[in-house]
Amino acid sequence: MQSKAAVLWGPHTPWSVEETELDAPRFGEVRVKLAASGLCHSDDHFVKGDIPCGYPIIGGHEGAGVVEEVGPGVKRIKEGDAVVLAFMPACGHCRWCASGKSMLCDYGAIIMDGLPISDQQPRVHARGEGLRQVSMLGTFAPYVVVNEDSCVKVDDDTPLEYAALVGCGVTTGYGAAVKQAKVEPGDTVVVVGTGGVGSSAVQGARIAGAEVIVAVDPFEYRREQAKVVGATHAVASMAEATPLVTELTRGVMADKTILTASLMTGDMLMPLMLLTRKGGRACLTSTANPNITNADVVLADVIFSQKEIVGNVYGGCNPHADIPRILSLYRRGLLKLDELVSKTYALEQVNEGYDDLLNGRIMRGLISYS
């Protein structure tokens, strides 16, 4: 069918909205009509060339919509189902899926290729070329053909525009606090970077019972919005956070720290660890260039203060189990999603949306297809 998509033809070029030809779903695949796509910061790293990927590629890996067509061999999903697209598919059978760690599914090894699981042949075409799809999704398009392993079935009456955000940023941030940092009642938590992921980490910390939540962000708008969703304090930098947290904890420092700066560099680790108390835990939730092999840290501080450093994929969440639970928190009013969406855009405004994001004018932007 004819469709359109925002395509990146190479690094250091803008998103280009193109007329596309979308193939019918093949074995194990479905076509989804999307309600919306989130503008996740990670896609901009493909523009900047910070994170390697193949080109040309359709951007976007936060989406939700309704299944319109089902290919042969599809078992769990039927036409008309409401689905959230998971940026990490879950095969259900590998060692990690089978042991309740589907965020580490072996499919993770191929998602950066952006080509279909079954045959690695592009399903979308423009200008006579096959297009890759970010995370095998490519949600900067009103219609996507994706594997059913990327689809999390949700209640039919789910507000799908906001549910799109749960496909990546919200789940990654919420889980950073709840699953990876393991925030406990009474904790003091520092969240560094309060865009879509960080403001979800703030909410995870609030829901888990944190007493003090310090948001750190260079942009005033995001500091104010972080307070709207649960931060008790907000400062512009880790350097500013250090005396504040020292005072708030009488020198003990934070029980849990969560780094959600979009792209982590090696110089960020030392100030983060110095904000973390003895026996505390730091959760690294950023993306990072795979070629970075050095980070500054006071080794004796980490060793003799028994500090923990943990990574984070998808907030340590199992998409099929946790996405419906996170949406349930939203519907009970405990998790705020509407407040995260600062602005809604048409697909043709995708570059404007990223300009707003990079200049701190929004927490999360949403491309609406309705």
Question: Which residues of this protein are in contact with Zn ion, per CB under 5 A?
Answer: 40, 42, 91, 94, 97, 105, 168
Q: What minimum distance in Å lies between the beta carbon of 105 and Zn ion?
A: 3
Phi first, then psi: what are they for 150, rounded to 5°? -90, -5
The residues, ordered by sequence, that sit 6+ positions from 163 with a Cβ below 8 Å of its Cβ are 35, 64, 82, 84, 154, 327
117 vs 253, which CB is nearer to Zn ion? 117
> 37 or 257, CB closer to Zn ion?
37
Question: Nearer to Zn ion by C-beta: 40 or 329?
Answer: 40
Nearest distance, CB of residue 172 and Zn ion, angstroms? 7
What are the backbone angles phi and psi of residue 349, rounded to the nearest 5°?
-100, 20
Question: Measured from the CB of residue 107, what is the shortest distance to Zn ion in angstroms?
Answer: 6
State the residue for tokens 């994001």: 357
b/e for 70-89, b at 16 or more Cβ within 10 A? bbeebeebeeebbbbbbbbb
Compare residues 168 and 253 and give the one whose CB is closer to Zn ion.
168
- Provide the minimum distance between the beta carbon of 99 and Zn ion in the complex, in angstroms, as a whole number: 10
Smaller CB distance to Zn ion: residue 302 or 360? 360
Shortest distance (Å) from residue 104 CB to Zn ion:
8
Orientation angle between helical segments 41-48 and 350-358, nearest 10 degrees: 100
CA angle 109, 89, 173 (to 5 degrees): 95
Place of tokens 């795979």: 290
Q: CA 38 to CA 114: how far, in whole Å?
A: 18
Measured from the CB of residue 277, what is the shortest distance to Zn ion in angstroms?
Answer: 30
- CA pair distance 77, 286, nearest whole angstrom: 32
Residue closer to Zn ion, measured from CB, 97 or 213: 97
Beta carbon nearer to Zn ion, 57 or 210: 57
Q: Residue 213, SS3? A: strand
Element (H, E) at 130: strand 129-133
The pair of three-digit structure tokens given for residue 92, joined into one six-digit string: 């259900």
104 or 181: whose CB is closer to Zn ion?
A: 104
The candidate with the shortest Cα–Cα distance to 322, out of 161, 103, 77, 156, is 103
- Residue 153: CB atoms within 10 A of its CB come to 18
The C-alpha atoms of residue 138 and residue 134 are separated, in whole angstroms, by 5
Minimum distance from residue 84 beta carbon to Zn ion (Å): 13
Smallest gap from residue 170 Cβ to Zn ion (A): 10
Distance CA 213, CA 254 (A): 9
Tokens of 241: 């956070």
